[in-house]
Amino acid sequence: MARSIPERKLIFIANTDLRLQALGFAAVGVWLALMHLVLEHGTDGRVVFGRGRVPSLADVARIRFRMTETELVTHLETQSETQLLGWSAESGALTWPSELMPDARTLANRENGKKGGRPRKTALNERNNPNQYHMPPMAIPGGRSMSTDETQKTQTETPLRVASLAEASTLKSLEATAEPDAREIDEVFQRIGPVAYAAAGFDHARHMGGWAIARIWAADGLRKGLPVDQIEDIVVGAIDRVSKRHAAKGNQKEIGSLDYFKGAVGDDIKAASPRMTQERRDAERAYEEAVMKWGREQMDPVKRGAQQPKLSDFLANLQRQSAA
């Protein structure tokens, strides 16, 4: 299958552009993926993340590039400095480089084509076609036809597609498995770290090894969508269970690090599901209603472009209400 003209230009630039090659092979792959993203979802070489059917920048970074949003923004800023692409952090707009953008003549021809274009001087019609001199006069062009009328009626009466409850649930599950940011991980780590240390019965003067494993437990728990209280209960329960089993074996060697509990805590976190309280159910129900309302507003040109609701905001609001 033949490649389109933009695809051939992208491959040519990736193989010959010294600015791009100076960044390394990994940057070349990221640049090609970004340009194909504009080709798939954009119009006239421009795409805005989080608008319409285009995913947000965080979702693109996680699903398409397997990296964090911060890492993808670093690539965008680095490549925009050498004009390999256009990037605006304020509007979230990504554009092709200037050599790939359609010129003014192409855009003008496209607009003229929408209006029917300029007819050729040598175009044949029923008046100047020699093969139709003997035919009776044809009907005047421009009349209404049944097929056109029925087609327009069908298109007008087709209902607009809005967000459904199933799509809201899908977005909720995708966000629940999203990568937590460093600030959230640090907050949970500062809470469960001392608790895990105390549950193991460690002495601060002798048992400082393996302290960082608690941060991994915090990240794994947040990645599963577990609340902080449930993560703390899982960690304390696993440490207590393993400590009792170690003492029952009559082992004289004491446990000297939190790493000893790594397997048990990790398995318990993997098997756990978010603890559903009535408050959490209310928060998730409010999130689903907000997503459905946001999907309906995308059909309205006035309200289109609003930020997509996030489940984390509703859960954070729930935690603030619980703390109050």
Choose one of 70, 95, 120: the last residue of a domain: 95
User: In terms of Cα–Cα distance, which of 220, 151, 146 is closest to 189?
Assistant: 220
Q: Are residues 173 and 90 in the same domain?
A: no
For residue 117, the model assigns a pLDDT of: 63
Residues 89 and 167 in one domain: no
The verdict on 314 and 173 lying in the same domain is yes
Same domain for 71 and 178, yes or no, is: no
116 assigned to some structural domain? no
Q: Residue-wise over 129-164: b if at least 16 C-beta within 10 A, else e? A: eeeeeeeeeeeeeeeeeeeeeeeeeeeeeeeeeebe
Q: What is the CATH number of the domain that holds 31?
A: 1.10.10
Contact between residue 186 and residue 244 where contact means Cβ atoms under 8 Å apart: no
Q: Are residues 175 and 58 in the same domain?
A: no
Whether residues 320 and 237 share a domain: the answer is yes
Residues 84 and 180 in one domain: no
Q: Give the domain extent around 236.
A: 162-324
Whether 47 is covered by a domain: the verdict is: yes
**Backbone dihedral region of 117: left (phi > 0), alpha (psi from -120 to 50 degrees) or beta?**
left
Q: Is there a domain that residue 142 lies in?
A: no
Whether 323 is in a domain gets the answer: yes
- Which of 71-85, 178-192, 204-218 has the weakest average pLDDT? 204-218
* CA pair distance 91, 95, nearest whole angstrom: 12
Q: Which of 73-77, 97-101, 139-143, 209-213 has the lowest mean pLDDT?
A: 139-143
Same-domain check for residues 304 and 183 = yes
Q: Is residue 157 part of a domain?
A: no
Strand order across the 86-88 sheet:
46-48, 93-95, 86-88
Domain final residue, candidates 76, 95, 114 = 95
Tell me phi and psi for residue 134, to 5 degrees: -85, -5
Q: Tell me the helices (H) and strands (E) count for the chain, helix number first.
A: 14, 3
Q: How large is the average pLDDT for residues 107-124? A: 69
Q: Which of 95, 129, 148 is the last residue of a domain?
A: 95
Of 188, 178, 278, 179, nearest in space to 235 by CA:
188
Give Rg (Cα) of the chain. 30
Q: What is the mean pLDDT of the chain?
A: 76
Angle at alpha carbon of residue 213, lines to 208 and 214, rounded to 5°: 95
The secondary structure element, H or E, covering residue 46 is strand 46-48
Give a yes or no: residue 274 inside a domain: yes
The answer to the question of residue 110 being in a domain is no
Statement to judge: residues 175 and 75 lie in one domain = no
**Same domain flag for 185 and 305:** yes
pLDDT of residue 157: 44
Q: How many domains does one find in the chain?
A: 2
What is the pLDDT at residue 310? 76
Average pLDDT over residues 155-173: 49
Summarize pLDDT for 266-302 with one digit per residue, the tens.
899 888 887 767 777 787 788 888 878 777 777 776 6
pLDDT band at 87 (very low <50, low <70, confident <90, very high): very high
Which pLDDT value is given to residue 159? 46
Do 184 and 324 share a domain, yes or no? Answer: yes
% of the chain exceeding 70 in pLDDT: 71
> What are the distances in angstroms from CA 164 to CA 186, 294, 296, 298, 308?
35, 11, 9, 13, 14
191 shares its domain with 79? no
Residue 303 included in any domain: yes
